[in-house]
Amino acid sequence: MRRPYGKAKGHIFRDHQSRTSVEMDPQALMMKKPTWRQSVVAVAFLLSLSLAIFFVVRAVRPLIYWHYHQDEPIRGWMTMGYVAHSYHVPPHVLHQALGLPDKPPDKRPLREIAKAQNRSLDEIRTVLLEAIVQARRSNPPSPSPPTNPGASP
């Protein structure tokens, strides 16, 4: 004689010899269909996860790009802002070096600026590099923190 011992997906019975056996209901083995609320929660979770991934990628890409494009050789396709960003100098320093107004920032490529000023690209490049060296001399980068902070100087 078998009596139910508990309520689970499968019913556990005690038989007359006091051994426990498990009888599985075939319906209990099949996955239940999610309710509409569970589906909405799953879709909302996946949507927010993909939105978070999108913004993380969008934030990390420029960091990676500029890490590998520091002090890049100056070329004609570059703008003043690009050169300033690559060489870590304020854009107004480069504008002043070429005799251009700071506001609004000049977004033309260096090739067009050279043509408008009747100069060669090499001359523009030399003037910009001199301005960059001068700006770095007057504003040196902050020293990196010591690797062993407990040691005396």
Closest by Cα among 123, 104, 103, 135 to 113: 123
Q: Which domain holds residue 63?
A: 38-68
Sequential DSSP letters for 94-142: HHHHTT--SSSPP-SBHHHHHHHTT--HHHHHHHHHHHHHHHHHHSPPP
* Total number of domains in the chain: 2
- Shared domain for 81 and 134, answered yes or no, is yes
Q: Give the mean pLDDT of 35-40.
A: 90
Closest by Cα among 118, 121, 101, 99 to 109: 121
Q: How far apart are CA 86 and CA 122, in angstroms?
A: 18
- Shared domain for 87 and 122, answered yes or no, is yes
Residues near 150 by beta carbon (within 8 Å), at least 6 away in sequence: none
Q: Give the mean pLDDT of 104-125.
A: 91
Tell me whether residue 57 is in a domain. yes
Q: Is residue 78 predicted with pLDDT exceeding 70?
A: yes
Better pLDDT: 146 or 84:
84
